[in-house]
Structure 1
Amino acid sequence: MPMAKKWIPAVLIGALGLLALPACGGKGDLEDPGSTSRLTGLKFARKSGGEGFYVKRYREMPPAPGLVFIEGGTFHMGGTEKDLDYEHNALVRQMTVASFYMDETEVPNVEYKQFLFYVQKDSGDQKAQLLYPDTNVWFREMAYNDPYVRYYFQHEGYHMYPVVGVNWHQAREFAAWRTAIVNKQLTDRDPEAILYPDYRLPTEAEWEYAARAGYEQELYPWEGRSLRDMKGRFRVNFKRGRGDYAGRSNKGGSLLYEGLNDAYMIPAPVKAFYPNDFGLYNMAGNVAEWTEDTYRVLNYEDAEDFNPHRRRGKVELDQFQYDDEYDPKTSLLYSPKALAQAGQEGGGGGVWPDLGADAAKVYRGGSWADIAYYVTCGARRYLHADSASATVGFRCAMVRVGRPF
C-alpha cells in the first residue's frame, strides 16, 4: 500500500510533465528552425561563408528607438460623428490591421533639426535646404504670426514642440534617413546583426486603429465623449470655438489647466497631454499627422479589409485653397523658374516626383487650430503631397515581423 501511494503521485507528475512539454518550449520554439533541416536532414552551417546553408538565429528585438508596440486586431474603421459636410468619405467598415509599431509622440523640432544636421553634413547644403520646413506656413496677412515664422522651428524654447511645415515627401525622407541611422548603429556593433524594418508613415488604417486604442465606436482616443477628464482638465489641444484657442487667463498667472482651457494657443510639447491606452500621445489635436495613403472619397468601400492601404487614387484639386483643396502656386516648392528650366508650363511638380492624380495625401487627427469635430478618430482630410501647413506634422510607424503578439 505504501508503494501504491508513491506510485500514483509519480504517474500524475509524469503525465503533467508530458502535457507541459509543448508549453515548455515557449513561443520561441515555434519560430526556431533548429540546427538541422527538418525536411532534408542537412545540418545548417554555424557560420556564414561556409559550404552549408547558413541560418541566422533570430531573437525577438526590442522596439526600435521611439516606437511603441501596437498589437493588431479587428476594428470598425470610419467616422462616428455626423457627416456635417456630407462628404460620405468615412463610412464605417470592419477591418483587420496586423501588429505594428508607432512613434510614441509626434516628431519634435529637435529631432528634425538633428536630421537636417546630418543631411547637411553628409549630402551638402542644397539637399538640407530642400528638406528644411517651410516656416512661412505661420504667416497670415491679417495676423501677427511673424514671431512663429522666425522662432517656432529655430528657437531652443520650441525643441520639444512638434515639427510643422513639413510636406509628405519630407516626412518620408526623414523616415528613410532614420531607418539608415538606426540600422547603421546595429551593423557597427555587429556586421551580421539583424536589421530593423523600415520606418515609414503609418497607413490610414494603422493610424485610426492606434488612435482608437481598443475603443471601438468612441469619438475620441479615450472612453466617453467628453473632452475633459474626471477632474475637469482638457485631454486635447484644440480650438473650442471662434477666436478661442486656449481660454481666458486667470489674472495672467495661470498654470496648465487652471484658468485656461488647454493652455496652448499653438501646438503643445509632444508629451503635454495624457497618452491613450496604447501609450501614444496626442492622437487627437495638437497637430494633425500625415499618413502614407492617397486620398479617395470612397476608399473604405473598395479597400481590402486586411491591412487596407490606398496607393493610388483620384481627386480633383482646383485653384481654390481650402482645408481640403490645393492651389499649385501655394505649394511649398512651387517655383516658376524651376518649372521653366524643366520645360514645364504649369502644374505644381516643383522638385518632387510628379504624382499626378495620386498627389492628394491623407492627414489625420485634427490640430490646435481645429474645432472638436476634426479631432475625432474617424475624421479624414487631405493635402497635396508637396504642400505644408502650420497644423500638420507627422509620426512614424514600422511593421512588426514574426509573431503578432
Structure 2
Amino acid sequence: MIMNSETAQADLPSQHERDGMIFVGAGTFWMGSDDHYPEEKPAHRVNVDGFFIDETPVTNADFAEFVTATGYRTFAESVPDPRDYPGILQEMLYAGSLVFRKPAGQVDLSDWTQWWSFLKGANWRQPYGTHSSIEGLHDHPVVHISHHDAMAYARWKGKELPTEAEWEFAARGGLDQAEYAWGSELSPGGRYMANTWQGPFPAVNHKLDGYTRTSPVKAFPPNGYGLYDMVGNVWEWTSDWFAPKHEADATKACCIPKNPRGGLEVASYDPCLPKIKIPRKVLKGGSHLCAPNYCRRYRPAARHAEAIDTSTSHVGFRCVVRNGESNETAS
C-alpha cells in the first residue's frame, strides 16, 4: 500500500515551494509490470524513503538560466572524440543530435533510421536543426540533453537525478499497480491525459491531443501527487544503470529492497554494439512519440535503455532532493 504524502506536502518548507518541487512521502509499491515489455518484468515490491521531486520536467527557460550562469556547453554542441567511436568516418565527426523526422509513408518499424536523423547543429537551442530555435518554447521541456548534461544541471541546482524506483513511485501518484499514472484507461472518457502519438506511428499523427512535438509543461493534468508530465511529452533520465530485467519479488516482507540503485555499469552496454563500450542508463515515462502501434511506453512501469552520450529531440529530465534537504547553489 502506498503511503499518502498529503500530510508531508502540507508542511513543505517555503523554499521548496519556490523551487517548484513536490514532496513524495515514503512508501512501498509494486515496481514494474508483468503485462507488457520483457524489460519491465518481474513486478516486484520496492520501498523508498521520502524525497522532493521537480513538479515538471526541466524547461528550456530553466536550462537557459543554467547555461547563462555557467557557460556550460552540452554534448550535442561538441564535436565527438573519434577515440570513443571506433571506425567512425571523419565526415561524421560533427556536433549534432538525433531529431525525429516524420516519413512520407509507413515504413518498417524495426528500422528506427527511417524516422530518426542525426542533424548537424541540432541541440537544445536549435531543437529541430540549424534553422530552428526555442523562441516560443521556453515553457517546453528542454531536449537534446545527454545524461552528463542532466547531471551537470542537477549538480548546479544542488539536486540529483532520481533513481528508477523513485521516479516510478512518484509517477504512479499513489495509484499502486495502476496501468497509467491516472488510472486504468489510456484516455478516460475520451480525454487525453498526456502528450502521446495518436495514429499509426511514424507517418500519421492525428494530433488529437493538440501537439505534434513537445508540449508546454502543465498542458495536461497532474497525477495524484501534483506532478506534471510524468508520462508522455519527453522521456526522462534516471541515475540507474540499465539491466534487462528487474530482480524477483522478495519472498518475505522483511527482504523488500529499500532505495535500490539498479543495475551495473559493466552490464549496461548494448550487446548489439560490442565494439562501442558506452554504458546505458534507464529512461522513464515515454514521450510524444509513443503510440499504441509502436511504443506503448506511456506508463509508469515502462523503461528504456539509453546510452549516456545520446541526445535526442524527445529526451529530457527532472531532478530530486533526498531527505528533504535542498542544497541549491548559483555557482
TM-score (norm 1): 0.60
Q: Is the contact between residue 175 and residue 200 of structure 1 (CA under 8 Å) also seen in structure 2?
A: yes
Given that 1:245 and 1:368 are in contact with CA atoms closer than 8 Å, whether structure 2 keeps it comes out as no
Which of 148, 153, 169 in structure 2 is aligned with 1:169?
A: 148
- Where 2:130 maps in the other structure, the secondary structure is helix
Pick from 179, 197, 202: which aligns with 2:162? 202
Root-mean-square deviation over aligned CA pairs: 3.1
Listed one character per residue, the Cα deviations across residues 29-82 of structure 1 (whole Å, up to 9, x for unaligned) are xxxxxxxxxxxxxxxxxxxxxxxxxxxxxx966426121111110111111533
| Aligned counterpart, 1:237 | 195
Does 2:174 match 1:214? yes
* Residue pair 2:175, 2:182 contacting (<8 A) in 1 also: yes
Counterpart Cα distance in 1 of 2:62 and 2:297: 27
Match of 1:159 in 2: 138
Work out whether residues 75 and 94 of structure 1, in 8 Å CA contact, stay in contact via their aligned partners in 2. Answer: yes
Is 1:138 aligned to 2:95, yes or no? no
Structure 1 counterpart of 2:289, from 343, 362, 369: 369
1:275 equivalent to 2:235? Answer no
Deviation of 1:299 (Å): 3.6
| 1:128 and 2:64 are equivalent in the alignment | no
Call closer, same or farther: CA 1:142–1:97 in 2, change over 3 Å. Answer: same
Structure 1 or 2: more strand by fraction: 2
Paired amino acid for 1:148: Y
Cα distance in 2 for partners of 1:94, 1:233 equals: 31
- In structure 2, C-alpha distance between the alignment counterparts of 1:300 and 1:76, rounded to whole Å: 12
Q: How does 1:245-394 map to 2 (within 5 A)?
A: 246-247=205-206, 260-301=207-248, 305-310=257-262, 312-313=264-265, 314-318=267-271, 347=276, 359-372=279-292, 373-394=296-317
Distance 1:71 1:103 in 2: 14
Summarize deviations over 1:263-319 as a string: whole Å, max 9, x none: 100011111100001000011111110000001123433997111112624034255
Structure number with the higher helix fraction is 1
| 1:245/1:219 CA distance change after superposition, 3 Å | farther
Amino acid at match of 1:204: E
Query: Which residue number corresponds to residue 102 of structure 1?
Result: 53
Q: C-alpha displacement at 1:240, in angstroms? A: 2.7
The answer as to whether partners of 2:76 and 2:97 remain within 8 angstroms in 1 is no
Unaligned runs of 5+ in 1: 1-26, 28-58, 121-126, 180-198, 248-259, 320-325, 328-345, 348-355
Relative contact order, higher structure (CA 8 A, sep 6+): 2
Displacement after TM superposition at 1:391 (Å): 1.6
Amino acid at match of 1:242: P
Secondary structure in 2 aligned to 1:156?
coil
Number of aligned residue pairs: give it. Answer: 269
Deviation of 1:390 (Å) = 1.4
Output the amino acid matched with 2:199: G
Give the secondary structure class of the aligned counterpart of 1:300: coil
What amino acid does structure 1 have at the position aligned with 2:319? C
Aligned to 1:148: 128
Opposite residue 98 of structure 2, the aligned amino acid is V
Separation of aligned partners in 2, 1:90 and 1:112: 34
What letter is aligned with 2:281? K
Work out the CA distance in 2 between the residues paired with 1:272 and 1:135.
Answer: 29
Q: Is the 8 A contact 2:128 2:313 kept in 1?
A: no
Cα gap change, 1:165 to 1:60, in 2 (>3 Å): closer
1:340 maps to what in 2? none
Q: Which has the larger radius of gyration?
A: 1
Q: Secondary structure at the match of 2:180?
A: coil
What SS is found at the alignment partner of 2:232? coil
CA contact (8 A) 2:242 2:282 kept: yes
Instruction: Give secondary structure in 1 for the equivalent of 2:305.
Output: strand
| AA at the equivalent of 1:392 | V
The whole-number CA distance in structure 2 between the counterparts of 1:106 and 1:245 is 27
Distance 1:387 1:284 in 2: 21
Secondary structure at 1:206's aligned position in 2? helix
Would the alpha carbon gap of residues 269 and 141 (structure 1) be closer, same or farther in structure 2, given more than 3 Å must change? closer
Normalised TM-score (structure 2): 0.72
Indicate the percent of aligned positions where both proteins have the same amino acid. Answer: 32
